[in-house]
């Protein structure tokens, strides 16, 4: 296998710019790597021919001196971004055969910059899951194993992290609703960032929970994350929640200089029963930042413990409504019982098209919005959500960024948590609060646990201040010196 798949985006950019590497070569190497990655089940659709065509176009662009950060870079696309004429099903059976007639803004921006699509990446069905075990296309395997035991890649962006960690894409788009970028990044030793809500357009992104969904990226290091996030960010008039602000130069923010910066350590994230390895890693992270000249400030986010419960009301409520459009009328799966009425068609189509977790969340969401329960559940949750957001606001009056662990554990084995929805939900305990508040957050690989599995640290920033997130992420990355890679067992 060619070493080309081990290149970082920034490295490839240099070689491409100097003419020492062509997009075609780079892409061909990756197409092969994608084929070889089948045991990971990271890809649900491969667009090899399209990739070669796009690579040639990128080479022409480069030759014309028209190159930017993503030109000629082969990437994978999470299956919930609409890609014109290409499989787009959010890994749900209900979107069976759906090929959109439109392109999502996020992917269009990548193609406009000359990036190359390798294929569509596996994910939890409609992004509902934390282990990529709810996909209609089967679970994704984490390139990192616990000895010879498989582990899950985290979720919902399981395909994105597996492809990037498994050298089957230089970067991948991902989406984060309650932690779906950061938690899988932590499980796979990759860098993941979810920007401020409103930074990336949601146009053409299959919706899970509209007030929480935000696109982001998975890459192998912080700099690559800055390059790729810059490409997909920016105002889009087609999304009413997209905000008209200029996109800063994220890459330039990675200076390594955090002297005098105030880093908040929230007391409430120190939870009973937290594995000692997680606690130890967090302390290490605190030490690295202190060593780099930052001031560590104890802060309080008093409503943290209610974030998960809030999330598991708000997200299913929005989802129950967002997923009502999958009704067998205009696209996707249709199941009609013999002589069935329209209603029978709805019931049968949705019963066959949605998996158990999606059904569970639709049911919860329907219930919490229903007559007589709205105030007790949904309205209450939106009030608590406001309190959670206020907590962050007060904290950010005192600090520039917040450091926490990304996930309460390293990657676990498949099936370990599928029987108990609540224990699965607890995976998002550290990531959900920032999602509720719409804040930017990253996960940086920072160490390995006793089993040799990666662990990440989470950096949260103020709204629209991804630059600080990148700056602090860069310092953690540098100090951690995380160079481990999974042993390649799948090729």
Partner 1 sequence: MSNIDKATVAKIARLARIKIEDQKLAPLAGELNQILNWVEQLDEVNTDNVAPMASVVDAKLRWRSDEITDGDKQESVLKNAPKAEYGFFAVPKVIE
Partner 2 sequence: MSKYIIQGAKDDFEVVIGLEVHAQVISNSKLFSGASTEFGAEPNSQVSLVDAAMPGMLPTINAECVRQAVRTGLAIGAEINKYSVFDRKNYFYADLPQGYQISQFKHPIVGEGTVVLDMGDNKTKDVGVERIHLEQDAGKSMHDQHPQYTYVDLNRSGVALMEIVSKPDMTSPEEAGAYLTKLRTILRYIGTCDGNMEQGSMRADVNVSVRRAGEPLGTRCEIKNVNSIRFVRQAVEVEARRQVDIIEAGGKIDQETRLFDPVKGETRSMRSKEEAHDYRYFPDPDLLPLEFDDAFVEAARASLPELPDEKKARLVKALGLNDYTASVLVAEKETAVYFENILEALTSKTGKDAAALAVKASNWVTGDLFGALNKAGKTIEDSPVSAEQGAELLALIEDGTISGRIAKDVFEIMFETGKGAGVIVEEKGLKQVSDTGEIEKIIDAVIAANPEQLAQYRAGRDKLIGFFVGQVMKETGGKANPGMVNQLLKPKLDG
220 makes contact with partner 1 (CB under 8 A): no
H/E stretch holding 29 reads helix 23-36
**Nearer of residues 286 and 344 to partner 1, judged by Cβ:** 344
- The item of partner 2, partner 1, none sharing an interface with residue 90, based on CB under 5 to 8 Å by kind, is partner 2
Among 184, 332, 408, 474, indicate the residue that binds partner 1 (CB under 8 A): 332
389 makes contact with partner 2 (CB under 8 A): no
CB 126 within 8 A of CB 320: no
**Number of C-beta neighbours around residue 481 at 10 A:** 9
Measuring CA to CA, which residue among 192, 232, 196 is closest to residue 212?
A: 196
Number of residues that bind partner 1 (CB under 8 A): 67
**E strand intervals along 114-259:** 116-121, 171-176, 191-194, 214-219
H/E stretch holding 443 reads strand 441-448
Could you say which residues in the range 184-213 bind partner 2, by CB under 8 A?
202-207, 209-211
CB 285 within 8 A of CB 446: yes
Q: Is 442 a catalytic residue?
A: no
Angstrom distance (rounded) from CA 244 to CA 267: 35
Among 346, 392, 412, 430, indicate the residue that binds partner 1 (CB under 8 A): 346
- The item of partner 2, partner 1, none sharing an interface with residue 202, based on CB under 5 to 8 Å by kind, is partner 2
176: tokens are 């984060």
- The item of partner 1, partner 2, none sharing an interface with residue 362, based on CB under 5 to 8 Å by kind, is partner 1
**Nearer of residues 142 and 304 to partner 1, judged by Cβ:** 304
- The item of partner 1, partner 2, none sharing an interface with residue 383, based on CB under 5 to 8 Å by kind, is partner 1
**Nearer of residues 113 and 327 to partner 2, judged by Cβ:** 327
Q: Residues 6 or more apart from 252 whose CB is under 8 A from it? A: none
Angstrom distance (rounded) from CA 168 to CA 32: 8
Determine how β-strand 262-266 pairs with β-strand 401-405. Answer: parallel
Angstrom distance (rounded) from CA 335 to CA 79: 23
Compose the 431-460 pattern: x for residues touching partner 1 by CB under 8 A, - for all others: ------xx----------------------
CB 203 within 8 A of CB 234: no
Angstrom distance (rounded) from CA 16 to CA 29: 14
Among 32, 146, 360, 491, indicate the residue that binds partner 1 (CB under 8 A): 360
Between CA 207 and CA 216, with CA 211 as vertex, the angle to 5 degrees is 65
341 makes contact with partner 1 (CB under 8 A): yes
Could you say which residues in the range 108-167 bind partner 1, by CB under 8 A?
none
Determine how β-strand 43-46 pairs with β-strand 74-78. Answer: unpaired
Binding site for partner 1 (CB under 8 A): 97-101, 197-198, 211-212, 237, 240-241, 243-244, 303, 306, 309-310, 312-313, 320, 324, 327-334, 336, 340-348, 350-351, 354, 359-360, 362-364, 366-367, 370, 377, 379-387, 389, 421-422, 437-438, 463
Binding site for partner 2 (CB under 8 A): 80-82, 88, 90, 95, 98, 100-102, 104, 202-207, 209-211, 237-241, 317-318, 320-321, 323-325, 327, 329-331, 342-343, 346, 366, 369-371, 374, 378
Query: Which residues are tagged catalytic?
Result: 78, 156, 180
């Amino acid at each position: 296998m060619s070493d080309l798949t081990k290149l970082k985006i920034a490295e490839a950019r240099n070689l491409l710019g100097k003419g020492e590497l062509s997009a075609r070569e780079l892409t061909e190497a990756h197409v092969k790597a994608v084929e070889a990655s089948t045991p990971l089940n990271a890809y649900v659709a491969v667009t090899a021919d399209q990739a070669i065509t796009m690579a040639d176009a990128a080479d022409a662009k480069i030759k014309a001196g028209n190159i930017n950060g993503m030109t000629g870079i082969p990437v994978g696309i999470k299956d919930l971004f609409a890609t014109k004429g290409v499989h787009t099903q959010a890994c749900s059976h209900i979107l069976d055969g759906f090929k959109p007639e439109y392109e999502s803004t996020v992917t269009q921006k990548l193609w406009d910059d000359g990036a190359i699509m390798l294929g569509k990446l596996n994910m939890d069905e409609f992004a509902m899951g934390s282990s990529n075990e709810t996909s209609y296309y089967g679970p994704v395997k984490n390139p990192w194993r616990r000895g010879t035991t498989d582990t899950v890649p985290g979720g919902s962006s399981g395909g994105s992290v597996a492809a990037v960690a498994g050298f089957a894409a230089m970067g991948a788009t991902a989406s984060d609703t309650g932690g779906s970028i950061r938690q899988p990044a932590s499980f796979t030793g990759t860098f993941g960032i979810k920007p401020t809500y409103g930074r990336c357009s949601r146009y053409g992104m299959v919706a899970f929970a509209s007030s929480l969904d935000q696109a982001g990226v998975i890459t192998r290091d912080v700099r690559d994350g800055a390059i790729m996030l810059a490409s997909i960010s920016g105002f889009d008039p087609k999304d009413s929640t997209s905000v008209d602000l200029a996109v800063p130069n994220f890459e330039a923010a990675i200076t390594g200089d955090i002297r005098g910066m105030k880093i908040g350590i929230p007391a409430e994230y120190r939870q009973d029963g937290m594995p000692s390895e997680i606690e130890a890693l967090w302390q290490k992270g605190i030490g690295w930042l202190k060593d780099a000249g930052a001031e560590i400030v104890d802060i309080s986010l008093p409503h943290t413990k209610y974030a998960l419960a809030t999330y598991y009301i708000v997200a299913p409520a929005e989802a129950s409504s967002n997923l009502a459009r999958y009704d067998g009328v205009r696209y996707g799966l249709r199941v009609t019982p013999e002589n069935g009425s329209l209603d029978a068609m709805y019931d049968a189509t949705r019963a066959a098209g949605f998996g158990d977790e999606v059904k569970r969340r639709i049911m919860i969401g329907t219930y919490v919005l229903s007559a007589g329960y709205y105030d007790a559940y949904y309205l209450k949750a939106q009030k608590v959500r406001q309190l959670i957001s206020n907590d962050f606001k007060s904290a950010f009056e005192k600090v520039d960024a917040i450091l926490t662990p990304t996930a309460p554990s390293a990657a676990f084995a498949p099936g370990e948590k599928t029987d108990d929805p609540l224990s699965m939900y607890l995976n998002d305990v550290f990531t959900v609060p920032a999602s509720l508040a719409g804040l930017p957050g990253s996960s940086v690989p920072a160490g390995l646990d006793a089993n040799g599995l990666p662990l990440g640290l989470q950096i949260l920033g103020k709204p629209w201040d991804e630059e600080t997130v990148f700056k602090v992420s860069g310092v953690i990355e540098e100090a951690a010196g995380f160079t481990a890679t999974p042993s390649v067992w799948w090729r």
